[in-house]
Chain A
Amino acid sequence: MKIKVFIGVIVIAGFFLLLPQPVDKLQQEPRQVSKFLSKLNNNFILRNVRFYDGDVLYENTDVLVQNNLIAKIEKNQNVSENLVEFDGTNKTILPGFIDAHTHVYGNALKDALNFGVTTELDMFTVPETANQYQSVRENDDNIENADLFSSTILATTRGGHGTEYGLKIPVLETTTEVDDFVRKRIQQGADYIKAVYNSKQADKQFYPSISYEILSTLITVAHHQDRMLLVHVDNLISAREAIMLGADGLVHSFMDSVVDESFIKLMLKKNAFIIPTLSVEASVAQQAVGNNLLDDENIMPFLSNQQKHELKAAFPDFDIPSDGLQNAFKSVKKLSLAGVKILAGTDAPNPGTTHGASLHGELRLLVKAGLNNQEAIHSATGAVRKAFEIGNRGTLKIGAKASMILLDGNPFVDINDTSKISAIWKNGQLVERFKYLDKEPTTIKISPSLISDFNDSIQSTQFGKGIVATTDQFAGGDSIVQLTGLTRNKGDGYLQVHGEVKAGLMFPWSGITFLLSESMQQGVDISNLESISFDAKSNTESQIVSVLIFQQYSFQPLEQTLLLTKDWQNYVIDIKKYGSIDLSNIVNISIVASEKRGDFEFSLDNLSLN
């Protein structure tokens, strides 16, 4: 009897251990492409399919792909029996999309490809990032990422738009610097030059801008060097001036007013194009367009956690008049009707937008603005090919690389069908889409405890990865800092933070940061805690410090400024009161000096979470 019971228990225990477990939390799950589709590689034929080559729509045809290239577009083709055939009845083939306005870093080009965007035109990133992708864009086996073209660093002035992100970039202040600036950009791999311009005549001056003369010189010099010159504007007056001076295109639409007849004529005369970036304009106008994409069952499963965060993010409210977005919509419609080239671009990953998915949202917005479906699709395919020197990208003419998407539907009837992707090919090869598991990686919950009393060490902490120095050198600044362990009465250790905040960046900083978790990939949940407390004093009469709590994936921390005095004092920061960030996913807590330039020195002790 004992034996039987024993065996029974073993069998039951074994059974439960054999039951399947979820795949590792962060691991991506390759999409199950149907077995048949997976054979469609390099050489194959698609029969009876609706086919758009970027300019012309064929309602029902056969498309032959040979050696990764589009070889023949013709009904009832006779091909060798060995060739894999696929019946595409009721399905649609489009060229891989091009997003004509993005900013590339991190996983941008992977995310883009995952949604059928096979080419991205970057409008400002660091050259090191751009170069690694630019150098492989002609390779047939580059099927992990979308192809990249980039302006690298944009042309702006001191304190102008583009400098506020904390990157240290060269700026233009006089016309004499232009020649050198453009030469350097081209050396660093710029495919075209992008400038930020705001006319002196414009109503609003959010940032300083390069002058009219500098813009004029930039256009001349760029054209002389065989590069296009694109302009970022946010109002009609500046747009008119830029096009008048000979700029090739505008990389945004504007919400201040609707385009007039003379501007339309000017655009046509100069053969200039516009990338309206309605996705980001809508987001600036506080329309949560990202949420529509999160609700789309054909999009949601393919978004990474970071992409979801980007789509949920919002701009601060700039008080755009309520008709602002409508102005942009009306302008796009008028320009399109008149025959001005409209190119689809998203400005991802600005708040409310993300690489790949937002291009589908942009097409929907273009249709909403008044383009017909084919015009909208053209703006993300064939039209870009006409405006930019990007080879055959955006088209599927004979001889072009077969970078294309197979849709389970008809986007020429319903633009929402662009997200019904059954297959993506890049350079004739099937791309496996990544599908992400629903669950967010679980964060570690922290119970109230001391972080450090600085008695044994100034760096190691009771939990987390420890305390380290942090300065704006991380973003190209020059501030410095030094951490020293000292003791006060009876050997009680404390941390002295001594350094200098140096001018150079818009937001310089210097101080310490406490990394809450072992890995930057994983946030920590402090939502059940009340406050952060520490003892602190200034070594001078007074010192202003900022306590910053950073959420994962976000650069907008929860901030609290404190005035430290010459005597030790206990400071308690109520974290619940400033609940604008997600406290369940925190990566670090920093205490820094940043208000005033110059030397600073403050001391900390008994840092704890309560």
Chain B
Amino acid sequence: MNKGKVIDPVFDKLNLVKPNLINIYYMEAKTETIRLFRTPGFCIPTLLFPIMFYVFFGILFSMNKATMPTYLMITYATFGVIGPALFSFGVGIAIERGQGWFDLKEVSPMPASAYIISRIVLSIIFSLLIIMLLFSIAAIFGDVRLFHSQWILLAIILILGSLPFCAVGMTLGLFLKSSSAPATINLIYLPMGFLSGLWLPINFLPDFMQSFANLLPPYHLAQLSLKVVEMDIGAPIILHIGVLLLYTLFFMFLAMKAYNKKDKQ
């Protein structure tokens, strides 16, 4: 790989080498990451919310020291990984559309997939950060003890599980206006987290709310993760994966429609 040449813009003009696809993806992901880390409005709430809630409900006011820290670590990690997916895609795209930046990028020679993949990479990096922070706090202050295989499997499930929410975020970002996007997405993110049993164990909710949770994708991701420590309600794995897949396909379809519609205008 030709490192220096591509990164240096002056060199780039004289560059006779064909543009390197991997470098384009890398540069896009890198600049986006830097941009997001410099946007406190994004990284503070997405990092802080799940951790703050977990410290309160999972550790300080935990009702059962034996199981609660583990259970809530997993549900707040679920809550945590959904955040970056919804916000980086949803709010991000909506705002860039409003600024015209989205259109500019569209006409640039950069492939559209770089735009999407860089954002997926971004939300994975953030998810991993949240997971690592939560796991450390849970292990140190909540005395959570799991086997290595369980820790790692949890991280993998949670990270893969954030992908459906990237699709949801993308759709929202393409539909919503830049001014209303942050508020609307918060209005979806927070109640959906609560109703899916991410804030408090699902069996604390009344029965009708428990059955309603079946319709919500975060509930299924949380149940899938809880299976790792055998704290789930015992529904089949295939159900959870199926619902998450359906949501992904449905929102990808919606996103494509929205994208095409926008193009026609």
Contacts and interface: CB of A to CB of B under 8 A. Distances in A.
A201 to B, nearest CB: 55
Given A1-B3, A1-B26, A19 B135 contact: yes
Nearest to B143: A20
Nearest to A438: B66
A428 B98 CA distance: 78
Interface in B16-64: 26
A407 B155 CA distance: 44
Contacts of B152: 16
A15 interface: yes
Contacts, number: 30
Given A1-B3, A19-B146, A12 B128 contact: yes
B157 interface: no
A22 B145 contact: yes
B175 to A, nearest CB: 34
Nearest to A23: B145
A263 B122 CA distance: 86
A21 B147 contact: yes
A16 B151 contact: yes
A512 B135 CA distance: 51
A541 B73 CA distance: 67
Closest CB pairs A-B (n = 3): A22-B145, A19-B151, A20-B139
Nearest to A12: B128
Nearest to A301: B66
A15 B148 CA distance: 11
16 contacts: A1-B1, A1-B3, A1-B26, A12-B128, A15-B132, A16-B151, A16-B152, A19-B135, A19-B139, A19-B148, A19-B151, A20-B144, A21-B146, A22-B145, A22-B146, A23-B145
B3 A17 contact: no
Given A16-B152, A20-B139, A22-B145, 8 more contacts: A1-B1, A16-B155, A20-B144, A20-B145, A21-B145, A21-B148, A22-B146, A22-B147
Contacts of A17: 148
Among A12, A21, A22, find the residue whose CB has the most chain B CB atoms closer than 10 A: A21
Nearest to A15: B132
Contacts of A1: 1, 3, 26
Nearest to B135: A19
B229 to A, nearest CB: 11
Contacts of B139: 19-20
Nearest to B23: A1
B36 to A, nearest CB: 17
A237 B3 CA distance: 101
A591 B238 CA distance: 42
Contacts of B155: 16
Contacts of B145: 20-23
Interface string B108-144: 0000000000000000000010001001100100001
Interface in A1-53: 1, 12, 15-17, 19-23
Interface in A418-445: 438
A23 B145 CA distance: 8
Contacts of A16: 148, 151-152, 155
Interface of A: 1, 12, 15-17, 19-23, 438
B162 to A, nearest CB: 16
A23 B146 CA distance: 9
A19 B1 CA distance: 36
A154 B177 CA distance: 89
B4 to A, nearest CB: 11
Nearest to B151: A19
Contacts of B148: 16-17, 19, 21
Contacts of B151: 16, 19
Nearest to B128: A12
A1 B4 CA distance: 11
A15 B151 CA distance: 10
Interface string B2-15: 01000000000000
Among B128, B147, B148, find the residue whose CB has the most chain A CB atoms closer than 10 A: B148
A8 B151 CA distance: 18
A531 B81 CA distance: 47
Nearest to A17: B148
Contacts of B144: 20
A123 B73 CA distance: 51
Contacts of B146: 19, 21-22
A335 to B, nearest CB: 43
Nearest to A22: B145
Contacts of B132: 12, 15
B234 to A, nearest CB: 17
A569 B145 CA distance: 53
B143 to A, nearest CB: 8
A340 to B, nearest CB: 44
A526 to B, nearest CB: 21
A28 to B, nearest CB: 15
Nearest to B3: A1
A20 B152 CA distance: 12
Nearest to A19: B151
Contacts of A438: 66
Nearest to B230: A439
A15 B136 CA distance: 9
A17 B144 CA distance: 14
A1 B26 CA distance: 9
Nearest to B147: A21
Nearest to A13: B152
Nearest to A2: B1
A544 B167 CA distance: 69
B195 to A, nearest CB: 30
Contacts of A19: 135-136, 139, 146, 148, 151
Nearest to B30: A1
Contacts of A20: 139, 144-145
B188 to A, nearest CB: 30
B70 to A, nearest CB: 11
Contacts of A12: 128, 132
Contacts of A23: 145
A12 B152 CA distance: 10
B211 to A, nearest CB: 29
A21 B147 CA distance: 5
A146 to B, nearest CB: 28
A19 B128 CA distance: 14
A21 B135 CA distance: 12
A17 B146 CA distance: 11
A23 B155 CA distance: 21
A92 to B, nearest CB: 25
Contacts of B147: 21-22
A19 B144 CA distance: 9
A15 B155 CA distance: 12
A215 B137 CA distance: 69
A20 B150 CA distance: 11
Nearest to A5: B26
A438 B70 CA distance: 14
A97 B145 CA distance: 36
Contacts of A15: 132, 136
B24 to A, nearest CB: 13
Among A12, A16, A19, find the residue whose CB has the most chain B CB atoms closer than 10 A: A19
